[in-house]
């Protein structure tokens, strides 16, 4: 087999995995050399319908809110270890880490806050120096933060949760 054919087969396999995990078409277009028409056909074949339309998430602020920050920090810490320890390329590390994250959420019966597309966007924000990680001064765990913000006296959302964090919604049908 020629190198081009092997590379194309690898890209098709990667795109199938990404589609199965919920990736948007824009992610596939950015990360592969396959044509848009080929990706559309692949998407329809794997998912049985057309890809969703609309813009990708574009704000780093979403990753700073309390719940998403905890999920994003968990994901990014695993991703960075997988990337270095196993020496995967970034997309293989993303796929493996997202699988691990999703499986852990399922085992703990927790709704994943992070979609594959958001995880990919977050990785790109790190690569673009928009996001960074910072260690909490109390628990020493690393959390996702805006890049270039002051590092002094950082407290994470677990050590210093917002006042309404984790409070259940009131049951509107409960008897008074």
Mean pLDDT of 143-171: 80
Is 173 a residue whose pLDDT tops 70?
A: no
- pLDDT score of 19: 96
Instruction: Find out whether 85 and 77 touch, Cβ atoms under 8 Å.
Output: no
- pLDDT score of 166: 62
For residue 31, is it within any domain?
Answer: yes
For residue 15, is it within any domain?
Answer: yes
Q: For the segment 158-167, what is each residue's pLDDT rounded down to a tens digit?
A: 999 988 766 5
Tokens of 70: 């905890």
Do 75 and 110 belong together in one domain? Answer: yes
**What is the C-alpha separation between 65 and 105, in angstroms, rounded?**
19
Which of the two residues, 78 and 168, has the higher pLDDT score? 78
Do 17 and 74 belong together in one domain? Answer: no
Instruction: Find out whether 107 and 65 touch, Cβ atoms under 8 Å.
Output: no
Total count of domains within the chain: 2
Instruction: Find out whether 39 and 85 touch, Cβ atoms under 8 Å.
Output: no
- pLDDT score of 162: 86
For residue 100, is it within any domain?
Answer: yes
Do 41 and 65 belong together in one domain? Answer: no
Q: For the segment 23-59, what is each residue's pLDDT rounded down to a tens digit?
A: 999 999 999 999 999 999 999 999 999 888 888 777 8
For residue 149, is it within any domain?
Answer: no
Q: For the segment 100-144, what is each residue's pLDDT rounded down to a tens digit?
A: 999 999 999 999 999 999 999 999 999 999 999 999 999 999 999
For residue 28, is it within any domain?
Answer: yes
Q: Give alpha helix (H) positions in 21-148.
A: 25-31, 36-47, 66-85, 90-107, 116-127
Do 117 and 68 belong together in one domain? Answer: yes
Residue 19: which domain range?
A: 7-47
């Amino acid at each position: 087999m020629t190198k081009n054919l092997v590379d194309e087969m690898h890209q098709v396999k990667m795109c199938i995995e990404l589609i199965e995990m919920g990736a948007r078409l824009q992610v596939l277009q950015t990360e592969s050399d396959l044509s848009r028409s080929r990706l559309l056909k692949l998407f329809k074949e794997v998912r049985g319908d057309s890809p969703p339309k609309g813009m990708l998430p574009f704000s780093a602020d979403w990753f700073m809110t309390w719940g998403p920050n905890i999920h994003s920090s968990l994901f990014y810490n695993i991703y960075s270890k997988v990337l270095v320890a196993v020496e995967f390329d970034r997309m293989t590390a993303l796929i493996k880490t997202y699988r691990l994250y999703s499986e852990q959420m399922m085992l703990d019966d927790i709704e994943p806050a992070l979609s594959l597309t958001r995880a990919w966007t977050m990785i790109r924000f790190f690569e673009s120096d928009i996001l960074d990680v910072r260690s909490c001064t109390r628990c020493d765990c690393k959390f996702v933060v805006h890049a270039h913000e002051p590092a002094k006296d950082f407290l994470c959302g677990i050590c210093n949760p917002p006042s309404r964090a984790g409070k259940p919604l009131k049951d509107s049908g409960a008897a008074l």
